[in-house]
Amino acid sequence: MSDTRDENGYTPAERQRSKSASLADGAAWSVMVGAGETFVNPFAIKLGADSGFSGIIQTVPQFIGALAQMLVLPIEPRIRNRRLVYASGVLLQALIWIPIALLAWAAGSGLFGPALADSSSALLPVLGLYILYQVFGQMLNPGWSAWMAELVTPGERGSFFSSRLRLNVLLQMLAVLGAGWMLDHAGLPGTQAFAILFLTALAARLVSGWFLSRMADHRPEQAVPSGPQHASDWRTYLSSPGLAEGRRFSLYVSALITATYIAAPFFDIYMLSVLKFDYFTWSVLVAVQTLAKVFFYTYWGKIIDRFGNRAVLFGTGFLVPAVAMLWVMGHSFEWLFFAQVFSGLAWSGFDLACLTYTISMPDPSSRASQSAVYGLSKGSGMLLGTLLGGALLAVWPHAGALDPTPFLAVFFISAMARYIASAYFLPRFSEHTFEGGMSGGRFLWEVLAAQPSRRMGRHLMDFSEASLHLAQTGTQHTVWAAERLAEVPAAGARMVERETQRTMRLAGEGMERSARTARRIGQSVPRAGSSLMQSGQSAASRLSRSLRLMQDEFEKLARDLKRRRRR
């Protein structure tokens, strides 16, 4: 039975081995991103990059990499040995870290000039190498999506990819924190510490490629075209009436990413240059968003299983605009910490919905095209948004290089643009999104307030029941102890009195905790709070009745002890 192959030619053992290898591949890739990609922009800022170049190095390589996906798309269906080709692409991407690390070491050692400011001559070589890095990496994405769709069955995609994403972002967070701490404490001159980070990224990507080569590959013969008709596959995707929904999805992603990247490339330079955060503080704020994603991926995965990925796309599409607005409203570390947690809530749902949507295309032949067009939509949006944001920063009046006003204005404009994109596109998905006549507002209430409130209510009721059981058990034990001690009137009376006071005090504290918990939840969730308050008050009233019963029992025991002393 274990040798039975499915329609794609894979046995259950091969599927399981490939999924385990994919988890390990993603884990190593995440270390590379956390220790390498995340610090390319801070490295450029250290070399002397201004806000314009900082935006370019974050977006132009991504855009060119997205174009590379479109160029390799006609070739991808003809690849028979995907393991060999993709492992080779991973190797080429990994090797790019070597010259980048050499540039970092040379700039730190003064090769480009006696002062760090003179090392800005290394910026263009770093940009060129990073473009090659993105090209070698992103050209593998369309085929990888189609390959994973063969290996992971539709019924397990939600759980598998949410688990994979949780592992990825957790390791990425740890890599960012470790790398940020190392930059602050390595004690190396100039930019030499960055060289260590980039060599770490090299090693992680090599490990990733090794695990990728362990995945099973049985591409069906019919999936390998023999004629020239597939050379324009992406053009067919863009013109086919049956794929209009996919094109609408790509347009929405492009619009939202454009609005997002009006501000996104400038958060780093805002924190490092304007707010003067050190590298470790910056790393903490970057990592807390990652940790929030780890926490919320499981929640959004369950919502996707219940309502579908387009429903989550609708819900998170109206949360994303608030992320940029939070950066306008405060600048302290504590406030930005909260903003990053909220960002993790919004973007984890959006990213997971986009990933499952791309992989779950009903036509297998269109999955690679959808992935490539999705990547191009993101890349073009990143480039256009960065150009707009950079232009706004350049023309906005400011009082000096450290004036936060231009940055705050750009963040506000980004928030408004995100809202406009979601308000325009998402209602056009609504007729395909919700089942049972549920409105968009009802969906947001359900996933953001009602379900969490019901969970808290269940926890409150469990706590109340446990408190009541504890009080009743304490009463029974106290009565039993009093009856045993009744034969020693004087000592027994004093002990019973002490036990009475102690038990009543503990039970009273339990009742007060239940009431406080109910009030807290009722205040945090106004509409759901009334029912939760009633639950807490019901539990408190039951505890109160239990206390009255306890008091009656104790008074009865006291009367018995007095009668025995008179005798």
Is it the case that residue 477 has pLDDT exceeding 80?
no
218: left (phi over 0), alpha (psi -120 to 50) or beta: beta
User: How do residues 189-202 score in pLDDT, each as one tens digit?
Assistant: 668 889 999 999 99
Is it the case that residue 227 has pLDDT exceeding 50?
no
* pLDDT mean over 375-394: 86
Is it the case that residue 19 has pLDDT exceeding 60?
yes
CATH architecture, domain defined by 449-566: Orthogonal Bundle (1.10)
* pLDDT mean over 428-449: 52
Question: CA 220, CA 80: separation in Å to the nearest integer?
Answer: 9
DSSP 245-276: HHHHHHHHHHHHHHHHTTTGGGHHHIIIIIS-
Task: Report the C-alpha dihedral over residues 444, 350, 371, 241, rounded to 10 degrees.
Answer: 20
For residue 532, what pLDDT is reported? Answer: 44
For residue 388, what pLDDT is reported? Answer: 92
Question: CA 431, CA 164: separation in Å to the nearest integer?
Answer: 31
Is it the case that residue 172 has pLDDT exceeding 90?
no
User: How do residues 56-72 score in pLDDT, each as one tens digit?
Assistant: 888 889 889 888 887 77
Question: CA 278, CA 487: separation in Å to the nearest integer?
Answer: 72
- Predicted confidence band of residue 434 (pLDDT cuts 50, 70, 90): very low
Q: Give the percent of the chain with pLDDT over 70.
A: 64
DSSP 445-493: HIIIIIHHHHHHHHHHHHHHHHHHHHHHHHHHHHHHHHHHHTTSHHHHH
Within a 10 A sphere around the Cβ of 437, how many other Cβ atoms?
Answer: 6
For residue 196, what pLDDT is reported? Answer: 93
Within a 10 A sphere around the Cβ of 194, how many other Cβ atoms?
Answer: 29
What residues contact residue 383 under an 8 Å CB cut-off, 6+ apart?
A: 59, 60, 62, 63, 261
User: How do residues 91-144 score in pLDDT, each as one tens digit?
Assistant: 999 999 999 999 988 887 765 554 444 456 788 899 999 999 999 998 888 777
**pTM surpassing 0.85?**
no
Q: Where along the chain do the CATH 1.20.1250 domains lie? A: 12-218+236-289+363-386
For residue 416, what pLDDT is reported? Answer: 96
For residue 173, what pLDDT is reported? Answer: 82
DSSP 310-334: HHHHHHHHTTHHHHHHHHHH--SHH
Q: Which of 364, 369, 359, 385 is nearest to 267 (CA)?
A: 385
Instruction: Tell me the CA distances in angstroms from 295 to 14, 301, 321, 478, 489, one per residue in order.
Output: 30, 11, 21, 44, 59
**Tokens 């706004």 — which residue?**
392
CB 232 within 8 A of CB 30: no
Q: Of the ranges 169-178, 244-253, 275-284, 472-481, which one carries the lowest mean pLDDT score?
A: 472-481
Q: Give the percent of the chain with pLDDT over 90.
A: 21
18 or 233, greater pLDDT: 18
Rounded to the nearest integer, the mean pLDDT of the chain is 76
47 or 367, greater pLDDT: 47
Question: CA 50, CA 46: separation in Å to the nearest integer?
Answer: 10
For residue 7, what pLDDT is reported? Answer: 67
User: How do residues 232-263 score in pLDDT, each as one tens digit?
Assistant: 455 555 556 556 667 788 888 889 999 999 99
* pLDDT mean over 154-159: 72
Q: Which of 418, 372, 407, 361 is nearest to 267 (CA)?
A: 407
CB 211 within 8 A of CB 25: yes
Task: Report the C-alpha dihedral over residues 452, 453, 459, 461, rounded to 10 degrees.
Answer: -160
Within a 10 A sphere around the Cβ of 136, how many other Cβ atoms?
Answer: 20
Percentages helix, strand, coil for the chain (3-state, rounded to 5) are: 85, 0, 15
46 or 490, greater pLDDT: 46
For residue 194, what pLDDT is reported? Answer: 92
Is it the case that residue 39 has pLDDT exceeding 70?
yes
For residue 435, what pLDDT is reported? Answer: 46
For residue 361, what pLDDT is reported? Answer: 63
- Predicted confidence band of residue 1 (pLDDT cuts 50, 70, 90): very low
Q: Of the ranges 2-11, 160-169, 239-248, 293-302, which one carries the lowest mean pLDDT score?
A: 239-248
User: How do residues 305-364 score in pLDDT, each as one tens digit?
Assistant: 777 777 788 888 889 999 999 999 998 999 999 999 999 999 988 988 887 777 766 555
* pLDDT mean over 497-512: 63
CB 81 within 8 A of CB 218: no
Q: Of the ranges 372-376, 406-410, 431-435, which one carries the lowest mean pLDDT score?
A: 431-435
Q: Of the ranges 46-50, 124-128, 262-266, 388-392, which one carries the lowest mean pLDDT score?
A: 46-50
CB 262 within 8 A of CB 414: yes
24 or 294, greater pLDDT: 24
For residue 537, what pLDDT is reported? Answer: 57
* pLDDT mean over 32-59: 87
- Predicted confidence band of residue 513 (pLDDT cuts 50, 70, 90): low
Is it the case that residue 218 has pLDDT exceeding 70?
yes
For domain 12-218+236-289+363-386, the CATH class is mainly alpha
Q: Where along the chain do the CATH 1.10.132 domains lie? A: 449-566
Is it the case that residue 230 has pLDDT exceeding 50?
no
Question: CA 248, CA 3: separation in Å to the nearest integer?
Answer: 42
